A and B are shown apart, each in its own frame.
Chain A
Amino acid sequence: MSPTLMGIMAISLGSMMLSAAVVVLFVRDLLSAIIITGFVSLSASALFLLMDATDVAVTEASIGAVLATLIFLWGRGKIGGGE
């Protein structure tokens, strides 16, 4: 089975997502952690798009990458910066 373009894209997106998710755990700065979490959601959305699940991709992009990230940012503002 030769690797297709879709397969290569899926594998690279998945490995980027995985490594970002691991990096979040070890980042000291709260702001960077929040932005990287948003990046994980964005790559998940791109993966859903590769699997032809357009509606799920849009939901993930708007909820996971935009709204959740913003709410984390506001929460960070409320507790005053953090680590």
Chain B
Amino acid sequence: MIRTVSVLAILLVLGALAAAVVPHLGMPRELAGVGREYARDGMEVTGSANLVTAVIVAYRGLDTLGEVVVLFCASTSVVLILTLFPLGVRPSPPSRIVEHTARVLPAPILLFAFYFIAHSHLSPGGGFPGGTVMASAFLLVMLGSTSVPGRSGSLPAIEALAGISFGLLGFWGVLTAGQFLNNRVLGTGTPGQLVSAGLIPLISIAIGAKVASEFSGVFAAFRKTGGME
């Protein structure tokens, strides 16, 4: 009873706050400030047909680098906690539906993830969503079997390689153009071509590999320590 009342009270307070804020937000009719600059010159400056990726990877590349570092810390601590307190439960065999789905679906999911990462500068996409989709394909493979992943060095190796290459691509700009993560060190090409937009596709691939290997490492740790039902 007390729980229900307190929940309702919190909901009411939050609703009142939202009702007070929303009328002042409004949708601006046109872009202002730095957004207008990005929309006007973005395609020409970065060579990326997809402006969202241009902002995420090129204009705000440093933020993305920080985001990747945060994700690295989070996944490392999850794996650490899981290995410190193992349950030692053997995975139970999957049902027939899961078993057979896990044989068919991962291939198209992986294909979609590769497309999503490689075409992030042309159509909606990006390293982060592509990496998570890729990790969900690996998760499906894992759920479809009873095998326990052994001690593998390849996942941390891919993760480290991707992180280091992101940093090195940034420093390439420092060496040649005097600016960290300068996008024009490679030449931007024609917007709309697969090989265009300077560093953006390379950085997207690095982010995708890093995110996919981190999430897969977390799943492998769950399976190894008996966390999966």
Residue ranges of A at the interface with B (Cβ–Cβ < 8 Å): 22, 25-26, 53-55, 58-59, 62-63, 66-67, 70-71, 73-74, 77-78
Contacts and interface: CB of A to CB of B under 8 A. Distances in A.
A53 B87 CA distance: 41
B124 A74 contact: no
B173 to A, nearest CB: 25
The 9 closest A-B pairs by CB, nearest first: A54-B124, A77-B229, A59-B129, A62-B132, A58-B129, A55-B124, A74-B227, A62-B133, A25-B7
Contact of B136 (A67, A73, A77): A67
A58 B116 contact: yes
Given A66-B136, A67-B136, A78 B129 contact: no
The A interface is mostly helix, strand or loop, or mixed, namely helix
Q: Which of A59, A62, A70 has most chain B Cβ within 10 Å?
A: A62
Nearest to B120: A55
A74 B11 CA distance: 28
A58 B52 CA distance: 14
14 contacts: A25-B11, A26-B4, A26-B7, A58-B125, A58-B129, A59-B128, A59-B129, A62-B129, A66-B136, A66-B139, A67-B135, A73-B229, A74-B228, A77-B228
